[in-house]
A = this chain, B = another copy of it.
Amino acid sequence: MLTEAMIRKQVSEAAKKARQTTPLAGSITNFVTVDFVANAQLAVGGSAAMVYLPDEARSLVRLGSSFYINVGTLLPVYAESVPAAMDEAAATDKPWVLDPVALGIGTLRTELLQHARSCHPAVIRGNASEIIALADLWKLSHGGGAGVRGVDATDTVEAAETAAIALARYTKGAVAVSGKKDLITDGTHVLTAEGGSPLMEKVTGCGCSLGGVIAVYAAVTDPFTAACCGTFAYNLAGESASSVADGPASFKSAFIDNLYTLTDKLDTAKFSLTEV
């Protein structure tokens, strides 16, 4: 069983290793926040590359140390490229991170997220509503309810706890639920983290770029620690940025600067740990 002290040590080591080794974490991600994803990945020490074609997705999975798939803004070619990337990651044992954005607004999105089931993402990151909806889609038994959802969470993080645990047990990876408090679980441990800023809801892509950052960390550590690293970094960077921001744009700038400077302090993050 993990202890708080062990987690603090592991996130510290992983953050350092990411900065030292510049791991390539390729992505298929949405067009709205792709620049933020790349810049956040670079800020924490990783290397970023984005593709959309099936053969390029397969190549990039093989070239990189991990991969990030965000189904935020689909184009027709995603029907081939997303499964290609998922399959290649599964076949080559590359850890990959899934961001199941806005499940329910179209048929392709549902198909892609259904396909993800057999490819076992190392980390699933989403808001509470997305995590509940994904557990439902994958027919994993849990306590929450779900419906058609947009990009914003209508459920609380607490309400997604059982769904998150069910998903983590199924994938044998980790699940990170983002919200006012954040929840991270590997199916055995449940960690609750605090920090961040209300301004993060006023900047598009905080969730997406967190997924990309977790993918960078997944290249250098286990899924649960990777999810902790990313979440802690976002909480620390957000809290610090909100103290100097005049609004959402200056917040975003300070936030990315902080990702660059604060990732050697991940062991100072506020969290609590329980077992299930």
A residues at B contact (CB < 8 Å): 24, 30-36, 38-39, 42-43, 47-53, 55-56, 59-60, 63-64, 72-77, 102, 105-109, 148, 150-152, 201-205, 245-250, 252-261
Ordered by A's residue number, 29 sampled pairs between the chains whose C-beta atoms are within 8 Å are A33-B35, A35-B205, A39-B204, A39-B252, A42-B203, A43-B247, A49-B151, A51-B74, A51-B106, A52-B73, A53-B106, A55-B108, A56-B105, A56-B106, A56-B108, A59-B105, A59-B106, A63-B105, A63-B148, A75-B77, A76-B77, A202-B260, A247-B260, A247-B261, A248-B256, A248-B260, A249-B252, A249-B257, A250-B254
A50 CB contacts on chain B under 8 angstroms = 30-32, 72-73
Which residue of the partner chain B has the closest CB to A237?
B247
Please determine whether A257 and B261 come into contact, CB atoms closer than 8 angstroms. Answer: no
**Cα distance A102–B56 when bound, in Å?**
10
Interchain nearest-CB distance for A62 vs B (Å): 9
Nearest-Cβ distance from residue A82 to partner chain B, whole angstroms? 13
Residues of B within 8 A of A51 (CB): 73-74, 105-106
B56 engages A109 (CB within 8 Å): yes
Given contacts A247-B257, A260-B247, contact A35 B75 (CB under 8 A): no
CB neighbours (8 Å) of A260 from chain B are: 202, 247-248
Chain B residues positioned under 8 Å from A64 (CB to CB): 150
A151, B47: Cβ atoms closer than 8 Å: yes
Measured in the bound complex, the distance between the Cα atoms of B94 and A126 in whole Å is 29
Query: Which of A38, A107, A204 has the most CB atoms of chain B within a 10 A radius of its CB?
Result: A204
In the bound complex, CA of A123 to CA of B201 (Å): 27
Bound CA–CA A152/B245 (angstroms): 33
Residues of chain B within 8 A (CB-CB) of A109 are 56
User: Which residues in B have their C-beta under 8 angstroms from that of A76?
Assistant: 53, 77
| Cα of A201 to Cα of B41 in the assembled complex, Å | 12
Closest 5 CB pairs of A and B: A247-B257, A249-B256, A56-B106, A247-B260, A38-B204
